[in-house]
Amino acid sequence: MANIALELGFASMCGKPLIIVKSKLAPPPSDLTRTDWIEYDDGDEARFRRKLNQALDELDALAGFNESLLEVALEAPAMDCAVAFERASKAFLLTKEPRFLDSAEQIARRLDESARDDQVADLARVRDEILMFVKQGRRALAGPVGGAAA
């Protein structure tokens, strides 16, 4: 159970959406009693499929919402780069679509244009964070190196 809690916490911390499935027969772990999940019941697979599809549809809607917010942020004359990056990263984590990494790179370029002055350390930090996210995202899309299992 400790590994599961650790993985759930890490995924949540990274902004990755979670759909938790548990058996109807199993009691919830004490530290997840206030967590939403989908119950699986061998006797009612149709209900489980409906609930799972509903959860997946909600994730799609959330991705679309973040994409819309990203478009607004990118088109703003005075872009808040940290907010725009948050939208790009959430959209990527929800969809794994490379275009959101492209958007993050666009934000980093905008920061580069704004931060010609080295005295703006915060802009450099945000830019570096964005570029690291893009690098890791592209690496994740490429898959395991050398065919090793992840």
Predicted model pTM: 0.69
What pLDDT, on a 0 to 100 scale, did the predictor assign at position 40?
86
Q: Which segments in the chain show pLDDT lower than 70? A: 1-2, 30-35, 115-121, 145-150
Give the orientation angle of helix 81-95 with respect to helix 45-75, to 10 degrees. Answer: 150
Domain assignment of residue 148, yes or no: no
Domain assignment of residue 15, yes or no: yes
Domain assignment of residue 83, yes or no: yes
pLDDT tens profile 37-63: 888 888 888 999 999 999 999 989 998
> In sequence order, which residues have a C-beta less than 8 Å from that of residue 71 and are 6 or more positions away?
none
Domain assignment of residue 150, yes or no: no
What pLDDT, on a 0 to 100 scale, did the predictor assign at position 149?
47
Domain assignment of residue 88, yes or no: yes
What pLDDT, on a 0 to 100 scale, did the predictor assign at position 50?
93
Q: For residue 51, give both structure tokens.
A: 């609930």
Closest among 123, 59, 135 to 90, alpha carbons compared: 59
DSSP structure class, residue 29: P
What is the total count of domains within the chain? Answer: 1
The domain containing residue 18 runs over which residues? Answer: 2-143
Domain assignment of residue 114, yes or no: yes
Domain assignment of residue 149, yes or no: no
Q: Are 90 and 15 in contact, with CB atoms under 8 Å apart?
A: yes
What pLDDT, on a 0 to 100 scale, did the predictor assign at position 116?
64
